[in-house]
Amino acid sequence: MDATTGAIQLTGLFPNPGNTLRPGLYAKVRAATGVREGALLVPQRAVIDTQGTYTVALVDSNNTARFASVKAGDRVGTNWVIEDGLRPGECVVTDGLFHIRPGAPVSPKGGK
């Protein structure tokens, strides 16, 4: 890994039927560099970033809002991996974050 650019040099082999990719051409490649079993994924829009401190709004069993600090990890598409501060099955608020306050009643809607 080049620390100045963050680039990682990899070598890959792939089929090139009909010699579609010719010398001098290039392609964008995505490669899985690791797999995290059981990772908790949260939409990026649900994570509040305040100067490097990450917070999510949760819905408790009484349908009231509370905020929890979390440790955000890698980004996967439009989601973040949450490494700490969130348990499986907890309901995360994804919309209307700036309209709720701790202890405020919320009406959860179905999600993924």
Assign residue 31 the CATH number of its domain. 2.40.420.20
Write the pLDDT tens digit of every residue in 35-53. 888 889 999 999 998 888 9
For residue 111, pLDDT beyond 70: no
| DSSP annotation of 13 | -
Write the pLDDT tens digit of every residue in 59-79. 998 999 999 999 998 888 899
* Beta-strand runs (E) in 4-112: 40-43, 47-50, 53-59, 65-76, 79-84, 91-92
Domain membership of residue 44 as a residue range: 17-99
Residue 26, domain member (yes or no)? yes
Nearest residue to 68 (alpha-carbon basis) of 89, 48, 96, 44: 48
Residue 10, domain member (yes or no)? no
Q: How many domains does the chain have?
A: 1
Residue 112, domain member (yes or no)? no
| DSSP annotation of 105 | B
9 versus 74: the higher-pLDDT residue is 74
